Amino acid sequence: MLAAIFIIFSPNEKKAPSNDNVKVLDYSELMTLVRTGEVENLTIMGDQARGKTKGGEAFMVNVVISNLFLEQLDKSGVKTKFERPQPAFGISRALDLLGTFLWFAILFMIFRSMKGGGGLGGLGGFMRGNTRVVEPKTTKVMFTDVLGIAEAKKEVSEIVDFLSDPEKYSRIGAKIPKGVLLVGPPGTGKTLLARAIAGEAGVPFLSISGSDFVEMFVGVGASRVRSLFESAKKRAPCLIFIDEIDAVGRQRGGGFGGGNDEREQTLNALLVEMDGFETNEGIIIVAATNRSDVLDDALLRPGRFDRQVHIPLPDIKGREEIVAKYLKQIKIATDVDAEVIARGTPGFSGAELANLVNEAALMAARFNKKVATQKEFDFARDKILMGVERKSLSMTKDEIKMTAYHEAGHAICSVVLPEVDPIHKITIVPRGGALGMVQHLPERDKVSRNITEIKNNIAVAMGGRAAEEIFFGAGKITTGAESDIFQATRLARLSCTRWGLNDKLGHVFYGESMPAYDGQSAKTNVSDETAKLIDLEVKSMVDAGHKLARETIMKNKAAIERLVAALLEHETLGGDEVKLIVSGKEAFKKKHDAGAKKPLVRTSTFAPTVAAPTAEPKSADKKKKGKDAESE
């Protein structure tokens, strides 16, 4: 390439005559020849002159051009010719030409980018944003891939029908909703459901995040909105998916998130595109958020996002379907049952269930196992719910004993008091930020709570502090009850301010603050007197729970001592073992055939063997017959 540039730009100069047989003269010798008329012609190039004498002899001389010199040549009749000197094509000139070439190349790329900007008046890629387009041929997500949200799939099925056959609805005059808002906790499958809608309908899927619209440059967000809809019109019918729309759709004029002119201009552009003067036939907008309470009212009115689909956490049937799907992707032993895992994971989202299965597979691979057993799944669940064991934490015997009594206080209240979720596991091995823990698992998915259950749960939370006071005295209580007090206070405050379960406060909603509207700042909706009453009633409920916990522990001190002795010996006990200990020491001894006590040292509750189990892998959809789901 450089050789070609050299050939093109190199000067087309004449070849200089050879210096062979050329006599070099002095300036004085040249002037003598000129005066005597011996010089026939002279060619001057800069400060050098070449010529011939009348005798045909060639010569070369360095000259200084002056008026006197030129007059003498003219007077002697010398044929004089002037030529411009041709410099050599050196490295400096080559670098100049290369720099010019690169400059023109940069200008060419800039103009080309501007041409591809779609008339946005700027660089095309920057103004268009990070829109991802998935064509129908590459869309592989279908409704069968979305599990645990059957009602939501049924609600959006008519959108699929409309995108597949729009004329079916236009013939009768029906108007399909322009916007569908998917609302639900993180990890429940909102994005997956949107992709499944496009996959079932066989239409293009345009995806963008709400944060991609907002930039520091004024007007960029609105330009990106217009560019997005222009691309969608070219591909109609199609589906536009805006993830985390609360990043751009927050309430305008103050309130949540404050004011932002660029964000509000972007929101205005989105509102205009959704139902402006131009019709967007065949374009369905699906947005997702877990903060629907902060969205602007204009987004939620009819004609825009007028249909809201709630994506809840999966119930036990949905969890079983999700777990079975992910179990097919790993090798599992015959003792692994999707139903048992689903019953032990209430409140888990689809993403958390996928993480649980992956954690179990990682643990099996770490210890060179060929398959993942139920033991790995139990460990993965405990790790997610309670944190990783802190086996390296150094604790004295007195601290371990205090922790055992503290956790035993929680456990006794959980077993004795009615309408409390059963115990799944109790441990005095530090996990996460806790020195010990009592883990509860509900027998079924709950949708509401009654006042008796709430009061008993407050008593369970205060059981640890009550046990410390009874067995060690008020002067020896520790800071280990911090999270317990927080949970008890939270339940009491919600009962008084939101759930209407307090007689003195009545059936009134006492939120901490009401949202702001019309640019007004948020204000508390309770008076000073009411706030004082709320604080008194919250304290009264917590004190009542603490009193109930003390009464329960005093009546069951012998059971507490048996449970503490078992915890100091085994460190971790299951829920069935706790019930046996509370019912009588002999029953627990018979089950375990207990021998000599272990030394009071920290040991891991999970010590898988390195050797691979003999169990063979099985398919996740095969359920074990006769398995007791309550064996957890």
H-run or E-run covering 52: strand 48-53
Across 86-212, the runs of DSSP E, i.e. the strands, are 132-134, 179-183, 205-209
Nearest to 349 by CA among 463, 185, 225: 185
HSE-up of 294 (CA within 13 Å, CB side)? Answer: 17
- Tokens, residue 177: 């909703």
**Edge-to-edge strands, sheet with 283-289:** 132-134, 205-209, 238-243, 283-289, 179-183, 307-310
What is the distance between the alpha carbons of residues 222 and 218, in angstroms, rounded to a whole number? 9
Helix/strand/coil for 50: strand
Measure the CA–CA gap between 422 and 404, rounded to whole angstroms. 19
Half-sphere exposure of 600 (CA within 13 A, CB side): 16
Helix (H, G, I), strand (E, B) or coil at 415: helix
Q: Out of 244, 407, 468, 632, which one is annotated catalytic?
A: 407
Q: How far apart are CA 287 and CA 228, in angstroms?
A: 14
Residue ranges of E strands in 96-193: 132-134, 179-183
Q: Are 125 and 85 in contact (CB under 8 A)?
A: no
The yes-or-no answer on residue 407 being catalytic is yes
Report angle CA 591, 596, 598 to the nearest 5 degrees: 100
Q: List beta partners, residue 61.
A: 49
DSSP classification of residue 341 = H
Q: Which DSSP symbol is given to 348?
A: -
Q: Which helix (H) or strand (E) holds 485?
A: helix 482-497
Cα–Cα distance between 437 and 423 in angstroms, integer? 11
Alpha carbon distance 326, 471 (integer Å) = 48
Write out the H or E segment, with its range, that includes residue 568: helix 557-570
557-570 vs 585-592: helix crossing angle, rounded to 10:
20
Contact by Cβ (8 Å): 516, 494: no
Cβ distance 13 to 86 under 8 Å?
A: yes
Pairing of strands 423-427, 572-574: antiparallel
Q: Checking DSSP bridges between strand 79-82 and strand 437-440, what pairing results, if any?
A: unpaired
For residue 352, give the nearest of 602, 148, 144, 134 by alpha carbon: 148
Question: Cis ω on the peptide bond leading into residue 237 (within 30° of 0)?
Answer: yes
Amino acid found at 371: V
Catalytic residue numbers read 407
